[in-house]
Structure 1
């Protein structure tokens, strides 16, 4: 249905442009040829022809595109605010309307000095403010969508590498800006309307996954912001780019084999990256005198407030060494699951795989072009990828596996996938819970902390000054 609506919109827009081109003394067919059409618009409006070259520059091309088309309708006397707004939001309505209206005639090149002198137009104060606000909203939306976006750390899954209350800048340019897949949306709202609630986007127009060229590919152990893949399911059923933003470390690349043994990460059989500020949870035993909660708070040590002897503390290696040296601490035991312990809710949530958060895998991460054999062992691992992320109908029948109605004994993946884990290995909902992250869910690369706000601090030390402008590693 969405493709039909999109096709109708395109037909109406081009029909209107054909009519306006004819009114301007050009050939109607010229309105149908991309790039050449914009070159003709520079002739109709009086813009320099080299403006067409600016359409090849990302971000700049958006401003040039709208500038050309707004000046085009200005050539026909359309320059009131509602007319500009309609041209941007409803071109499939106003272009055919103006093209067929005999009262709408070509007045001349709107960008020329002669036109401005012959048809002067003084904006009201309200119009000046409206134009400024619209420009600011459009510019901020483009910057947020294609260049850089602010993001706040809401949970402790990346402690202590990233702290709750850290405000980050996330670059869209490093991996390449993703073209908005659900382009009609309320400005600055991600998926839910502020105050009133409800969807902040319209799914009538959808664009397939496309990404502009970036500066780099995702590298192993990058800190990455991505859309939470499980919101493809009920009750959310959200489009890809409107799913909640998560931030984790990409510890596994496409084609890697991931495993955990005794809470230690292995990638392709070799020890994986251990972040210098990552933390694990430990059971801490004392001589009976207990631990002072205020001391733990002052040291910024997270702990389970409901646990008593043994205490459950989340410690970095540095904090571990300090707590171990306390006079009343008799023993510290890491809270590591046994390799034979099956933990509910761990990917792939299948009785064939008795994995837990500390002992997991080995598991191969799908790579574009990789072909996997389909059987009872691989379907629990890759069935969701085939069905949900790559959009196929997958069915297991008595005589075998069927994909899109055809019997299949193997499947070749269309996209790359990543394995995302939090640095706080025992307090992180990550890939061990929900599996792979498809490349079309990748939002951007975390660059640096521009503000860090500590809710637990006093009034005078809520801002963590030592973290401001801290690069993310």
Structure 2
């Protein structure tokens, strides 16, 4: 009996075809791509910091891991897409890397926690739903251009806009200043949440005018020693130079005998059309003085009128997919006259730690919860001027 079955086994082994090297290689690549895509979608994803808006918390060319598990992984809206791409195929300028043939509604799996104030968060740029392409193939903000140049000129001078679903919009990173249900305001550059002044982040940067004892610019060696960015702004006084500094820089320079003064922020009302909600007729705000603004919370109902409509119109129409018209001073949502609205999602207010160099919620408003990608977690690599910043490696982002 053992001999009989032993012979059958040997016969079966002899009939198997050995896989070719090419087939083994293809199967290994497919497995690696699928595994990496699952990790990238549901566990963590790698990003690189491209701008100084979060200095000194995060520096240009910091490579970070973003945790998808912190708030719960988001199910992709556009599942038909090339792996490891965002919205455009590599080495092309306008070729989409995704198909909108299949669109899934917003859904997020359970996570380890909820978004809290002062979390550093990666999200899809809220106004990235519509972009224009420059002659060089770079993205340009459609809404900013329309506000600056006018609708007719933009449609005349530019090629037709490109439309993108939520999960294919550009990735941005900022600090969450206010969460759903909060009321935020800024007065003389100081942020107030629910009427209480907030403290600045540990590495908060601001512009200062510096006059050294010898009335010269700081040397490169001193800039390196104090870890000060070399982006210098000259002032009208040839003995005074403007730098972006953190509080430790200010203390060190003052100890050396330098005169250091914070650059005056714009105080009072303005008429800057760049500032949210882009309605200077009703809200004459600027980047240093705005609010109070209520941050929408899921299930919360607010009173609507023609005065506050500009604050919430984009949330109602673009993010929550309703129709809205104003006729004879009356508001119609989905063709029904109303004076209130109940929000379907939570929203957040984001700002950069380098406030004077940050394009953030002051310039484009709320971030909806379906735009949230994850929580910035760890710096795994960092370099500057072709040198690794060793002390930043594997540091936790706070």
In the superposition, the TM-score normalised over structure 2's length comes to 0.84
Separation in 1 of the partners of 2:325 and 2:216? 56
Q: 1:119 to 1:399 in 2, by over 3 A?
A: farther
Q: 1:225 aligns with which of 103, 119, 122?
A: 122
Separation in 2 of the partners of 1:222 and 1:243? 21
Displacement after TM superposition at 1:339 (Å): 1.9
Contact 2:233 2:243 in 1 (8 A): no
Structure 1 residues 375-390: aligned runs within 5 Å = 375-390=305-320
Displacement after TM superposition at 1:266 (Å): 1.1
Query: Per-residue CA shift, 1:272-298, capped at 9, x if unaligned?
Result: 242111111122345672213523355
Contact 1:390 1:414 in 2 (8 A): yes
Q: 1:180 aligns with which of 76, 84, 101?
A: 76
Q: 2:261 aligns with which of 327, 332, 341?
A: 332
Separation in 2 of the partners of 1:119 and 1:138? 31
Separation in 1 of the partners of 2:328 and 2:103? 37
Alignment of 1:290 with 2:290, yes or no, is no
Aligned to 2:395: 470
Separation in 2 of the partners of 1:122 and 1:397? 74
Separation in 1 of the partners of 2:90 and 2:62? 22
Q: Which moved more, 1:435-444 or 1:273-282?
A: 273-282
User: Counterpart of 2:363 in 1: which secondary structure?
Assistant: helix
Alignment of 1:270 with 2:196, yes or no, is yes
User: Counterpart of 1:321 in 2: which secondary structure?
Assistant: helix
Separation in 2 of the partners of 1:324 and 1:335? 18
User: Counterpart of 1:348 in 2: which secondary structure?
Assistant: coil
Structure 1 residues 199-214: aligned runs within 5 Å = 199-214=96-111
User: Counterpart of 1:426 in 2: which secondary structure?
Assistant: helix
Alignment of 1:141 with 2:37, yes or no, is yes
Aligned to 1:258: 184
Aligned to 1:345: 274
Q: Please provide the CA RMSD for this pair.
A: 2.0
Separation in 2 of the partners of 1:192 and 1:137? 19
Aligned to 1:439: 369
Higher fraction of strand:
2
Q: Which has the higher contact order (CA 8 A, sep 6+)?
A: 2
Q: 1:170 aligns with which of 50, 66, 71?
A: 66
Separation in 2 of the partners of 1:394 and 1:254? 23
Q: 1:239 aligns with which of 149, 158, 165?
A: 165
Separation in 2 of the partners of 1:359 and 1:208? 37
User: Counterpart of 2:234 in 1: which secondary structure?
Assistant: coil
Displacement after TM superposition at 1:304 (Å): 4.2
Higher fraction of helix:
1
Contact 2:208 2:260 in 1 (8 A): no
Contact 2:187 2:267 in 1 (8 A): no
Query: Per-residue CA shift, 1:102-161, capped at 9, x if unaligned?
Result: xxxxxxxxxxx9xx8798443211111100011101111111111111111111111111
Aligned to 1:56: none
Aligned length: 354
Displacement after TM superposition at 1:406 (Å): 1.6
Contact 2:253 2:260 in 1 (8 A): no
Alignment of 1:354 with 2:291, yes or no, is no
Alignment of 1:307 with 2:203, yes or no, is no
Aligned to 1:368: 298
Separation in 1 of the partners of 2:21 and 2:301? 63
Contact 2:206 2:262 in 1 (8 A): no
User: Counterpart of 2:326 in 1: which secondary structure?
Assistant: strand
Contact 1:251 1:272 in 2 (8 A): no
Displacement after TM superposition at 1:349 (Å): 1.1
Aligned to 2:156: none
In the superposition, the TM-score normalised over structure 1's length comes to 0.71
Structure exhibiting the larger radius of gyration computed from Cα positions: 1
Query: Per-residue CA shift, 1:7-26, capped at 9, x if unaligned?
Result: xxxxxxxxxxxxxxxxxxxx
User: Counterpart of 1:302 in 2: which secondary structure?
Assistant: coil
Separation in 1 of the partners of 2:65 and 2:27? 28
Separation in 1 of the partners of 2:389 and 2:74? 32
Q: 1:262 to 1:448 in 2, by over 3 A?
A: same
- Structure 1 gaps, min length 5: 1-112
